[in-house]
Every structure is written in structure tokens, then in C-alpha cells.
Structure 1
Amino acid sequence: MLTPGGRLIVSVNHPFADYLSGGPGTDYFATRQTFDEWTLGGHTALLGFWSRPLHAMTDAFTAAGFRISVISEPFPAQGAHELFPDVFADRPSGAFLCFLFFVLQAD
């Protein structure tokens, strides 16, 4: 719960990147769950992710009483090109769809 004027910062997978990675027949406007296996520190876990279109996210935020003050598609951090050259090999501009950041204000 936020006090009036409080801020909530949310990072989500970019919905269009989810659509592109969904394969043939994927419906951008559908809400769907996918699973991915991640291994960290020798432990493997199955993580569930929900993909939904941008309007579904913004509608949910505003219906919950938030005002959206920022939607950002951030560029990679400086130095990322040197650390992960294989990721950027086919992206000369360095830009790619990855995350969306929302800054929400409680009214």
C-alpha cells in the first residue's frame, strides 16, 4: 500500500519482445503464461511468466488507482557491449527490446 503521492517503480518484460519470442501463431493481444528454467548458484527453478499486451498493463495500473508518470524502454548500461559482445554483435545501435519500466504515482 502506498500513501498518496507515493511512487511504485515496476520493471516488466517488454510485451513485444515476448510476442517476438513466442513463435509462429503467437497472439500479441492474448494473455498467456510461459515457463523458463533458470539455474543460479547450482540451484534450478522453474519460473512462470505472464505475457500481456501493453494496454492490459496500463489498464490494470490505472484501474488500481495509479497515475502513470513514466514509461521507459531503457538502453543497455554503459559497458554492456564490452561485457557481452555476442549479445550485441547483430545490434549495431545497441538497442533491443528487453524491458519496460513504469513509474506509477498513487493518487
Structure 2
Amino acid sequence: MCLARACALDPKLPFVSESTSGIDIGAKKLVLDMIYQRNRQHGTTIVVTSSELEEMRAICDRIAIVHEGKIAGILPASSDSSEFGLLLMGAKASNEEGVISVG
């Protein structure tokens, strides 16, 4: 219901927070598909916050990891899981784009 209302308002920069929290796996797929399709069909940037990294990897192009209130780095969703793990543990990004390099 909230997602339908948000789509009806047609925001220029939608923010979605924990959109799949507390719902079953079938409903999660519907919600994630809707977010992905809205982005692809309308060319809209959508800012999504979630504690579910694998869900974000399925629908996002880039993922910013926040550690202790600051962006630790931004990685392409296709990055290796170890790179996300290092940022989640507080490793600092090693280049100007905010992307860490892992040996």
C-alpha cells in the first residue's frame, strides 16, 4: 500500500527504507521487482536503505556502505563479497571514488 501511494506521487528522487522488512519471501520479490522496474522504466534514481545486503546486490547498481555514521565506501553491486565485508568492518576506501581495493 505504501509503495503504491509513493508511486502515485511520482517523486523525483524516491527514498525507500527497509522495504522488505517483516514480509514473506513472495512479497519481498514483488517489492524488489517493483523497485527495480520503476528504476529501469522511468530512469529514476532510487535511494534504498536496507540491512539486507544480498537483496541490495540483486537490484542496485552501486552500494554505499555506512559504518559508524559515515560512508566507508561505495562499491558496484557485482563486487566480491569480501570487499563488502571489509567495508562493513570499518576498512577505509583506498581511492578517490570511495572504492576499496582488495589484494
Hey, which of these two has a bigger chunk of helix by percent? 2
Structure number with bigger Rg: 1
| Larger relative contact order, structure 1 or 2 (CA cutoff 8 Å, min sep 6) | 1
The bucket for the TM-score relative to the shorter chain is: under 0.3
